[in-house]
Structure formats: structure tokens, C-alpha cells
Amino acid sequence: MNNLVILPIIIPFISGMIMVVFRKNITLQKWLGVIALLSTGFVAMMLMHQIKSEGIQSIQVGGWQAPFGITVVADMFAALLLVAAFLVALACFVYSFFTIGNDKEKHYYYPFFLFLMTGVNGSFLTGDMFNLFVFFEVMLISSYVLITLGGSKGQLRESFKYVLINVISSFLFLVALAYLYGVTGTLNMAHLSLRVAEAGQDGLLTTIAILFLIVFSLKAALLLFFWLPGSYSAPPTAVAAIFSALLTKVGIYAIFRVFTLIFYHEPQITHVLIGIMGALTMILGAIGAIAYWDIRKILAYNVIVSVGLIVAGLAAFTYSGLLGSIYYLIHDIIIKGLIFLIGGTVIALTGTAKLKEFSGLIRNHPYLGWMFFISALSLAGIPPLSGFVGKIFITRGTFEAELFWLGAIGFMTSLMVLYSVMKIFMNGFWGETNMSIEMEKGSTKRVILPIAFLTVLTIALGFGAEGIHDYVSIAVEGLLDPSIYIEAVFGNNPIP
């Protein structure tokens, strides 16, 4: 029993509710939000430390033993993602102070931001399939509010699609859960893992596994990404940044959890399918990224490419593949937040998202320009920066698993990603300066702080990859060996 495990879920939740009580006092909301996020991050780091020294931490909510009650489990994989999510959330939260506007602040922007974090953290920590569904909904309903908040025409149009897609995928999730419960008679993840292993993953269970794959692919934009480019272009910058940094990652996390803990018995069917979906996602996403001349669209398609690359590591299902996936997942959470914040700042400065309408921003905004350059290189995976470690391990994993085509597609799309972001850099930042400071629609004065914070992080993560290697390898061992997880949930208690 360790009550620390539940804190990353309830700290944002309680502080969000206190914000609703004091809805008129915006200053208090800002401070409370920062304090809540900081303490969540602190708890997540403490958890990381505890997991390293004492193994996976878990808590049986309400004191009911494992398969009967809800278990909340913090393994290293979840703890790492919690820390990454906290870092990017803090940056986006501070960024929104200066950009979101008084009107949205009055209509519960900050509380919903924290409820979104509640859902994200809860999805990472839960050890129960139905509870995962509930936390998905907590996250999604907050995201519905954040995407529509403000009520401009574009937002309403895109949010309608977004809500429709997610309602359908949630419905499918529920149906999949019903099938799974009908077959195995349990919903606790550790217990499910045991039951599936005992029964053998026959055709029926594999079918259910693929249904889960479809559900999580809809959330994670793995091949079924048709809803994403529009939805991520509509909301305000801070919201788009937190969405692209966290929402698809929660879907990816769920895919990893389900296919390493529960349905790992038929990799020649499920994992190969994941690999094919990942490859198609990378190719289609990269084509989208180089096709457009609209900053928002280019960045949105970059989100899709990285989803394909991360699941390629899972498709390989070797030590290096998973190691690379986790490194890349952490890197991707930070870099997507960063690049969306910079993109949004550029759009705020120039008043347009079309690349052909402005150029030469680097003359007036050298810091912003070079930070964009660094994040573009990091996104493509140039060696000293954070994207490199993940990409190299994923490629190594796919080669070890003799999925050469997958590794090759990963490499090829990296080039296309580099081209797409360099296109923004060369067209937007280089060239004749056609806009003086007076003509600009906004300023980078204070928003540069959160951007710089994330840039420093991506550099640090690149140079300090060795430093977090111990933690990441513990996470990989946990993913490769489900018995560690099961033991942490059941302990010495009898398993029914």
C-alpha cells in the first residue's frame, strides 16, 4: 500500500475543483494551477525513485484486494510518462497565461486544463481496464471543452468531428470491454494477463485484441488518423500543444500496455499488424507533412509520423525496440509540445499560418528562430539532440526482429520530417524580412520563457540520455516480463 500512487490523479482534480469554486479569481487559479502541476511532478519523481529502489508501486483503492477492487499501479513506464507529461503541461500552462485571453479564462479554462491532466495521469496509472475507459472519458470530455472554448466557427466545425469520432471510438471501447469480460470474467489488467495466459490466446481473444487495437488506434491516430489534422488545427496554441503532446500518447500508452501485458501470445498476428499499421502511418503522415504549406497542418502531420515510429518499436518487440519506443515517447511528448508552441507563436506574430505569406522572421526574432531550428533537428533525430536515441534504438530493434522494411521506412520518413520542418524554417525564418516589428500582430516577449524551457529540456534529454538509461531500462524490463507487474498487483494474496 502506498498512497503516493494516487496523488498524481487527485492533486490536479482537487485543485481544478477548487478553481471552479473560486471561478472569479483568475490570479488565484493561475497560482493554484502552477502549484498543483509542480506538486504532481514532484510526486511523480518521488515515485520514479521509489520504483527504482523498491519495485513497482501499487495501491488497492478502498482496501479491496486485487481482482475485486480497482488497482492503481505505478510502474516505471507510467512514472516516466507522468514526469514528461508534467513538464510539458507546466510549459503549456504558463504559455496560456499570456495568450489565452480573459474571455476563456473566465469560462473555466484553467480548471479544464487540470481535469485534462487528471484524465491523462489517471490513464497512465490505472491497473484496471474499465477504469482506463473512465479516465479516457475524463480526458476526452475535458478536451471537448478545451477544443470548443471560445466558440469560433472553425473550432465548432472541427470539434463536431472530433467529438463524433471519439464518441464512436469510446463506444467501441465499451463493446470491446464487454467482449473481454464475457470471455475472461475479469477486468483487472494483471488478472487478465494471467487468465489470457492460462486460457491461451485463441482466435476469439486475438479478435478482441484487434478490436482493442482499433479502438486505441482511433485515439492514438495510428493509421486511423483522418480526424487529427483538422482537430489539432482549430484550438488555441496552448491547447493544441497540450493535445498533440499528450492525447495521442495516452492512446499509444494503452496500446503498449495491452499488447505487452495482456495480448502478447500471438505476436505474429497482432504485433505484425501493429507494424504494418505503423509503417502506413509513417508514410501517409510524412506525405501529409511535406504536402502542405500551412504551418498548423505540417505540424499536425508530424504528430502522426511519430505515432507510427513509436509503435514500430512495439512491433519489433525486442529489448532495443521497446527501449527506443520509450525514449522516443518521452522525447516526443516534449518536442511536440515545444514545436506546437513555436508554431503557434509564429502564427500569432504574423497573423497567418500560410508559409508563403511571410519570411525573414529570424532578423527580428533570433531566439525564436534558433530554438525552432534546434527543435526541428531534434524532431528529425540529429545526434546530440533527444530524438536521436529513440530513433536509433527503434531502428536497431526492427533490424534485430528482421523487420528491415519497417526500419527502412522509419529512416526514410525521418528525412521527410526533416524536410517538412526545414521548409518552415527556410521559408518562414530566412529570406527577406517583409514584416517590421510594428507590423506584427503579437509579441514574443513573455511567451519565449516556456518555449526556452522546453528547448533546454530537449537538449538536456539528448545529452543526458545516459542519465535516465537506468530508469528506461527498468521500464523495458517491466514491459518484457509481465510477471513483475502481476506480482506487484497481487503480492502474496491468493489469485482466484
Partner 1 sequence: MRPNDILLHSVTKIATFIILTFSIYLFFAGHHNPGGGFIGGLATASVVVLLFLAFDVETVKKYLPLDFQLMTALGVLLAVLTGVGSFFFDAPFLSQTFDYFELPIFGEVELATAVLFDIGVAMAVIGTAVTIILSISEAD
Nearer CB in complex with partner 1: 135/216: 135
Nearer CB in complex with partner 1: 98/110: 110
Q: Which of residues 343-372 bind partner 1 (CB under 8 A)?
A: none
* 161 forms part of the interface with partner 1 (CB under 8 A): no
Residue 183 and residue 199: Cα distance in Å, rounded? 10
Q: How far is the CB of 70 from partner 1 (least distance, A)?
A: 9
* 59 forms part of the interface with partner 1 (CB under 8 A): yes
Residue 306 and residue 329: Cα distance in Å, rounded? 9
Q: How many residues bind partner 1 (CB under 8 A)?
A: 17
* 46 forms part of the interface with partner 1 (CB under 8 A): no
Nearer CB in complex with partner 1: 16/387: 16
Nine-digit cell at 212? 482493442
Task: Look up cell 491547447; give the residue.
Answer: 239
Nearer CB in complex with partner 1: 127/390: 127
Q: What character string, x for contact with partner 1 (CB under 8 A) and - otherwise, covers 65-94? A: -------x----------------------
Residue of the chain from 20, 165, 276, 287 that contacts partner 1 (CB under 8 A): 20
Residue 274 to residues 61, 182, 329, Cα–Cα distance (Å)? 33, 25, 16
Helix (H) or strand (E) run with residue 57 in it: strand 57-60
Nearer CB in complex with partner 1: 6/214: 6
* 21 forms part of the interface with partner 1 (CB under 8 A): yes
Neighbours of 443 (CB within 10 A): 14
Q: How far is the CB of 30 from partner 1 (least distance, A)?
A: 18
Nearer CB in complex with partner 1: 138/187: 138
Stretch that binds partner 1, among 5-13, 123-131, 171-179, 224-232 (CB under 8 A): 5-13
* 408 forms part of the interface with partner 1 (CB under 8 A): no
| 326 close to 77: Cβ distance less than 8 angstroms | yes
Residue 233 and residue 293: Cα distance in Å, rounded? 13
Residue 269 and residue 271: Cα distance in Å, rounded? 6
- In DSSP terms, 128 is beta-bridged to 188
* 26 forms part of the interface with partner 1 (CB under 8 A): no
| 180 close to 187: Cβ distance less than 8 angstroms | yes
Residue 428 to residues 130, 295, 401, 443, Cα–Cα distance (Å)? 46, 10, 41, 16
Residue of the chain from 24, 27, 53, 62 that contacts partner 1 (CB under 8 A): 62
Nearer CB in complex with partner 1: 3/492: 3
Neighbours of 373 (CB within 10 A): 15
Nine-digit cell at 335? 518536442
Nearest to 40 by CA among 85, 71, 1: 85
Nearer CB in complex with partner 1: 64/226: 64
* 10 forms part of the interface with partner 1 (CB under 8 A): yes
- In DSSP terms, 126 is beta-bridged to 72
Q: Which residues bind partner 1 (CB under 8 A)?
A: 1, 3, 6, 10, 13-14, 17-18, 20-21, 23, 59-63, 72
